[in-house]
Structure 1
Amino acid sequence: MSTDTDRAALPTALAEIAEDFASVAVRDRLELLLEFSDGLPDLPERYAGHPEKLEQVDECQSPLFLVVELDDEDGSADDRRVHLFFQAPAEAPTTRGFAGILHEGLDGLTVPEVLAVPDDAPYRFGLAEAVSPLRLRGMVAMLSRIKRQVRLKSAA
């Protein structure tokens, strides 16, 4: 018999976001998602206008690009902090909202913390009732790409 306690825990910031979504009615979850869309930071200048430096997430229904950076700290690879940058058009609020959730929940975590995020995390926000499965697949793909880039860059 499986329970919620059997699932891997979310990092604190993501868990708090999941609680925020769980605390509102299903009809209000899209509004909360739009708040994350509005809060997604712009790309830094070093990436703006340089699509070749970003990875497109083809599974998203709207064009979404992302890139991961790791701090160049002295010390162990496990101490390095992950920084996420996304580009999505303003007319794609759902996709931007998913990126906003991942940015707020993962940006600044260490490499091991990001890699430990369970793959089912996008399903823990109660959005399956509010958006299509195809859209949720885009968020799953974003998380997968983030973790892949973290693995590659931390191994380099």
Structure 2
Amino acid sequence: MKKLKVLVCCLLLVVALSNCSKDKAEPIDTTYPEINTDVAQAFPKQCSVLKRGEKFVFKALLTDNAQLGSVSVDIHHNFDHHTHSTELEECEMAPIKQAVKPFLLIKNIAIPAGLKSYEVNAEIEVPADVDPGDYHFMIRLTDKEGWQTIKGLSIKIN
């Protein structure tokens, strides 16, 4: 009787396992998202000049092969001539100086869920009382899987 129970259990296990189907594995996203500042209306571009006390609109085309996640902008001074520019074109630099009241901005910009392409249009105000000079405009784009692309632009604030 014990052998019959073991045989029935084994038979049920074989039937259960044979009815399981393998789920088709989703392809793994290993592609970095892209930041395009070469489109006609994109701003700022490498060596752009911003004016103190004025607003500008950050425009760029963001794309991903699967799904976009988030984008952020970081503006900080480059008075010490450090670099994280990702552009080949070099901008004319002012002499090295000490920061007194530099402009610093870190801004997250929402991307609607489920998109593979998004044209960002975000208004940014440059305070009137910040130090003029060389700055970096860093764009960080992350896709839904966590892959990140960084674009570093050199700009000036007058």
Q: Which structure features the higher share of strand residues?
A: 2
TM-score (norm 1): 0.24
Larger radius of gyration: 2
TM-score (norm 2): 0.24
Q: Which structure features the higher share of helix residues?
A: 1
